[in-house]
Structure 1
Amino acid sequence: MPRLLLIHTGGTIGMAPGPNGLAPVKGLVESALSARLTDDITLVANVFNPLLDSASVGPTHWNAMLEAIRAHPGVPTIITHGTDTMSFTGAALSQALVGEGRRVILCGSMVPLGENGDAEGNLSLAIEASQQEGEGVFLAFAGQLLRAEGLVKHHSHDPISFRALPQAPLPQPKSRTFDERKFAILTLSPGIAADTLAAALATLDGAVLRVFGAGTVMACPVVLKAFEDAVKAGKRIRAVSQCEGGGIIPGSYEAGAGLWEAGVENGGDDTPEAALIKLWLN
């Protein structure tokens, strides 16, 4: 009998009103999913304890998801998850699972189950998508099945909250799980102090750097020296554009030359989330 793996991490889809607002309710997602399955599919549930707001999801939880997926070879998977960090989890699982032949469908909602919102439709779409052919990680949301390696949450509360940006083909990762190294996303802004960047980089093993436009940076030798010193210390810095589309194009502007001379990596079309995961896995 075919099986379907549910990994329920938490998020709005599995919440209900409580005395202090929306809070996770155990069994809600499992019951809703079971009720929508045909009789010939056996549901295998892996439920996080405690259930998490996605703001708390990080590398250790990605490892837990990967462990559960790999413990059920050949079984399609639905992961219910909050929307706030869905793009990070999408990038993490997409890159970690390259070449393993797995089909994983992420699912969440802006309104909980039972509240006449988007949850039921998203869950039904996830079930349908899980039974289709083909490997990869996808997001079932607002009537669309989106590839998850380049997700962007572009709206904080609209039902159509996500879009998927095209990404370069995913490489085979050097690592299949997430270690305890410290990475972060840093954003350039006019007037940012070089010592602020240097202090942040000193505490990190590497960083994604959101730069201007097609790959430019302020004409400040001290800022560029902070990047150069970090790279010389063995810290990887991967540049991505602050623009949602277009990516990085080295050589477009002289104002970007200092980045590459300092040893900063070209993130190309990477979303910040995808670039962050590449620091861990590649």
Structure 2
Amino acid sequence: MAEILVIHTGGTIGMVSGAEGLVPAAGVVEQALAAMAPRDLEITVEAFDPLVDSAEMGPAHWNRIIDLIAGFRGRGVIVTHGTDTMAFTGAALTQALAGIGLPVVLCGAMQPLRMGGDAEGNLALALDAATTAAAGVWLAFAGRVMPAAGLVKHDSQGDDAFRSVPQEPVTAPFGPRRFAPARLAILTLSPGLPAAMIGAALAELDGAVLRVFGAGTVMTNPALEQVLAEAVARGCRIRAVSQCETGGLVPGAYAAGAPLWRAGVTNGGTETAEAALARLWLDLSEPAMALGYSPQG
């Protein structure tokens, strides 16, 4: 009999109607699993208590998920999760669990279970993928099982809410990595944005993902290059990615991108902003781990 682990974090899939809208409810996902799981499948459910709206998900929750997965020796894992930050968790788990030898399948829904929407279909797809998909981290959603490394939530309402942008593979022997406390953010350039605003934000950060234009360009503004260079010089890690969904950055293609590379900003290539943030967070966490820091989920 195949054994799978279901980590129920929360999200729309397990919600019910409340006085002010949808709210998480204990037992909803467990009841659905009991009704639809094949008889030859043994399911262990680890539910967060309290359940977490995905807007609240962050590194401490990722560490908790990683710890549960690292200690599991069965066929596969399902992580039920809200859709709003699914792309962040997909990128985080893909990188932290690189080299894992079993499928980890993220699953959520745009409508809750028992409301005639997409939840039952997505959960059934995840149950199948947890025993048949290749090793790695996946999302089961809207009839497709897609890599979770570069997820993009492109629709806030429709059932077919996600697509997956191809990412460079993370190749390493399996050894789960964890996220230490750090101050990171995603910053987006826009026409006319004051350099001082970027400088003020960077002054509060240990690292940042900078979403730049096109193939890697920024506005011509010596003050912007200066605040970027000063941040890098004091140890703030800055990684640039494109505001475009695909294509990535090409350093040297345009002179308008030269200030980035002169300032010491690193090239995120084809990474999504979420993937770049996960990479930066893990890289910044390594020194803390080497000093014996033990993150608590």
Q: TM-score, normalised by structure 2?
A: 0.92
For residues 77-226 of structure 1, what are the structure 2 equivalents within 5 Å?
A: 77-172=77-172, 176-226=177-227
Contact 2:154 2:161 in 1 (8 A): yes
Count of residue correspondences = 282
Question: Aligned partners of 1:3 and 1:267: how far apart in 2?
Answer: 38
> Among the aligned pairs, what percent are the same residue?
56
Residues 58 and 170 of structure 1: is their aligned pair in 2 closer, same or farther, counting only changes over 3 Å?
same
**Residue 260 of structure 1: how far off its partner (Å):** 0.5
- In the alignment, what sits opposite 1:230? 231
Bigger CA drift: 193-202 or 169-178?
A: 169-178
Give the ranges of 4+ consecutive aligned residues of structure 1 lying more than 3 Å apart after TM superposition: 171-175
Contact 2:70 2:176 in 1 (8 A): no
- In the alignment, what sits opposite 1:246? 247
Aligned amino acid, residue 72 of structure 1: F
Bigger CA drift: 67-76 or 171-180?
A: 171-180
- In the alignment, what sits opposite 2:33? 33
Query: Structure 1: which 5+ residue stretches go unaligned?
Result: none
| 1:48-67 Cα deviation digits (max 9, x unpaired) | 01111100000000000001
Contact 2:5 2:44 in 1 (8 A): yes
Bigger CA drift: 242-251 or 81-90?
A: 242-251
| 1:141-200 Cα deviation digits (max 9, x unpaired) | 000101000000001011110000011111439970000011110000111111111111
**SS of residue paired to 2:34:** helix
| 1:189-217 Cα deviation digits (max 9, x unpaired) | 11111111111111110000000010000
| 1:11-53 Cα deviation digits (max 9, x unpaired) | 0000011122111110100110122112222211110011111
Give the RMSD, CA atoms, in angstroms: 1.3
**Residue 245 of structure 1: how far off its partner (Å):** 1.3
Aligned amino acid, residue 262 of structure 1: A
**SS of residue paired to 1:50:** coil
Q: TM-score, normalised by structure 1?
A: 0.97
Aligned amino acid, residue 172 of structure 1: A
Bigger CA drift: 13-22 or 68-77?
A: 68-77
Residues 171 and 232 of structure 1: is their aligned pair in 2 closer, same or farther, counting only changes over 3 Å?
farther
Contact 1:250 1:266 in 2 (8 A): yes
Aligned amino acid, residue 100 of structure 1: I
Question: Aligned partners of 2:18 and 2:169: how far apart in 1?
Answer: 44
Contact 1:175 1:281 in 2 (8 A): no
Question: Aligned partners of 2:172 and 2:232: how far apart in 1?
Answer: 24
**Residue 133 of structure 1: how far off its partner (Å):** 4.5
Contact 2:5 2:74 in 1 (8 A): no
Question: Aligned partners of 2:35 and 2:89: how far apart in 1?
Answer: 26
Contact 2:75 2:131 in 1 (8 A): no
Question: Aligned partners of 1:261 and 1:172: how far apart in 2?
Answer: 31
